[in-house]
Amino acid sequence: MSATSPPSPLHGATAIVTGAAVGLGAAFARALGEAGTHLVLCDVRLELAASVAELDDLGVAVVGVPGDVSLPQDVQRVVEAARARFGGVDVLVNNAAVFRASPPTGPWAKGLDDFEAVVGVNLRGPSCSGGR
Ligand SMILES: NC(=O)c1ccc[n+]([C@@H]2O[C@H](COP(=O)([O-])OP(=O)(O)OC[C@H]3O[C@@H](n4cnc5c(N)ncnc54)[C@H](O)[C@@H]3O)[C@@H](O)[C@H]2O)c1
């Protein structure tokens, strides 16, 4: 940022990033952290702790909340962590998602299980997060 650039609206804002342990979610979190955004990161994977530690080492204000975005009570904990630590939420990055390949000729039980996983994480998750 040059001396004449206006401050980024992300500086000092608070963002929740779901699925932030690896991949694009971790990259979104890092980019936001570098812009001065306060972060609450959520994931089901244990690697979340490493992602949080890395950002913490960079001086980013960051909290990690292990949790499953398909579970309303876990989403509630994530939002409560944002409120408790940073006073609210300004940005929501609904990044967590799963992909399950389920051909029509495959086992029915697997198809149902895949359907529940995809709907739970990819649809109910963003809906829960947006509603809180
Ligand atoms: N990578 C691509 O080329 C690409 C292309 C189009 C869209 N996307 C979308 O971008 C997003 C991230 O992609 P990616 O490649 O980094 O995926 P990824 O599978 O590498 O990472 C997804 C993250 O979400 C987490 N996650 C999964 N289920 C969760 C749950 N129930 N609760 C909390 N966290 C959960 C995983 O543990 C993982 O850390 C996804 O929404 C994906 O659909 C990716």
First to last CA, the chain: 34
Atom of ligand 1 nearest to the CA of 24: 16
CA dihedral 91, 42, 95, 90 (to 10 degrees): 0
In the chain, what are the domains?
14-96 (3.40.50.720)
Query: What are 100-129's pLDDT values in tens digits?
Result: 998 889 999 999 999 999 999 999 888 877
Centre of ligand 1 to C-alpha 124, Å, is 15
Radius of gyration of the chain measured on its C-alpha atoms: 16
42-46, 66-70, 121-125: the lowest-pLDDT one: 121-125
pTM of the model: 0.93
Tens-place pLDDT, residues 80-98: 999 999 999 999 999 999 9
The two tokens of residue 112 are 């149902």
**121 CA closest ligand 1 atom index:** 31
